[in-house]
Amino acid sequence: MKKVLIALSLMALFQRSAMAQDTPNAEQIIDKYIAAIGGKDALMKVNDLTTNMSSETDRGVIIITRKQKLPNKFSMVINANGMEVMKQTGDGQKVLMGGMQGSNTIDGPAAQAMIAMNTLFPELHYAENGIKSTVVGPEKIDGKDTYKLSHTTADGATTWTDNFDVGTGLKVQAVVTNKSPRGQMTTTMQYADYKEQNGIKFPMTINQQSPRGTQTMTVDNIKINKGLKDSDFKTE
């Protein structure tokens, strides 16, 4: 009996060792993702990006416009029934949060975390932004084998996770937890239906799950290098 237990223990040890050897490190997983969506050379040719999305809800159609510009500027505007209901703008230093209840400016580490996550193709810039990525391990997402990565800002204050398809290398899910007046709020984004434009693959369907409910966003069009100006990202 003792020999059997020893044999089983050794078998389990060998299996864990084999799994550890088979699982790539965080850098390799991110490199595979960058290659899967078009490669570093293609991504580095993009200076600005505008993504127009829409979502049908019980209250009508919601229009989302997201703009990104190198090196670290972004904005997102949400319109519902012809009215602007939310806007986020990052100028590289501060983030202006606006809505129907007013607006406020975020700076310091909280702003830098938002900017790092919303930078154009952020995975290309994790190292320079001090983002540390670690492998959590394999995880099944909707029956698919994925590698789960955890990312942490340089100050350790903000953490989020991504899941990458083991076979294709594409990102299939991101989970972000933010602080709100009501406490912590976790948002899960699932990415699907990747299509190529200008040699780069973009997810054309994004499913968002949060305490506010579930929302499916469809990418209507993508505009690359249309000459966005720094003035499009004012926070004052």
In DSSP terms, 75 is beta-bridged to 67, 89
CATH number at residue 132: 2.50.20.10
- What residue type is 21 in one-letter code? Q
> What per-residue confidence (pLDDT) applies to 1?
53
User: What residue numbers bound the domain in which 223 lies?
Assistant: 26-229
Instruction: Give the model's pLDDT for residue 5.
Output: 47
pLDDT at 184: 78
Structure tokens that stand for 161 in this block: 């996770």
Neighbours of 132 (CB within 10 A): 14
Q: Is 15 exposed, middle or buried (0-12, 13-18, 19+ CB in 10 A)?
A: exposed
Asked, for residue 149, whether it belongs to a domain, the answer is yes
Q: Into how many domains does the chain fold?
A: 1
For residue 44, count other CB atoms closer than 10 A to its CB.
11
Residue 19 is assigned to a structural domain of this protein = no
Q: Decide if 13 is inside a domain.
A: no
Tokens, residue 41: 């050379």
Which pLDDT value is given to residue 211? Answer: 84
Q: Spell out the residues 6+ positions from residue 97 whose beta carbon is closer than 8 angstroms to its own.
A: 87, 88, 103, 104, 105, 106
Q: What is the pLDDT at residue 204? A: 98
- 8-state DSSP, 145: E
Closest CA to 104 of 119, 86, 80: 86
Does 21 fall in a domain?
no
Residue 10: inside a domain: no
Residue 3 lies in a domain: no
pLDDT of residue 212: 80
Confirm if 135 and 121 have CB atoms less than 8 A apart.
Answer: no
Which pLDDT belongs to residue 181? 58
What pLDDT was estimated at residue 81? 86
For 2, other C-beta atoms within 10 Å of its C-beta total: 6
pLDDT computed for residue 203 by the predictor: 98
Helix (H, G, I), strand (E, B) or coil at 111: helix
3-state DSSP helix/strand/coil % of the chain, to nearest 5: 25, 50, 25
Could you tell me if residue 8 is inside a domain? no
Q: What is the pLDDT of residues 55-90, one digit of tens each?
A: 998 878 999 999 999 999 999 999 998 899 999 999
* Chain Cα centroid distance, residue 150: 12
Segment-wise mean pLDDT, segments of 10 residues, the chain, 236 residues: 52 47 91 98 97 90 96 96 92 92 88 93 94 97 96 90 98 86 82 97 96 91 97 91
Residue where the block lists tokens 């505008």 = 50
Q: Which two tokens stand for residue 19?
A: 């799994």
Residue 223: name the closest of 17, 68, 35 by CA. 68
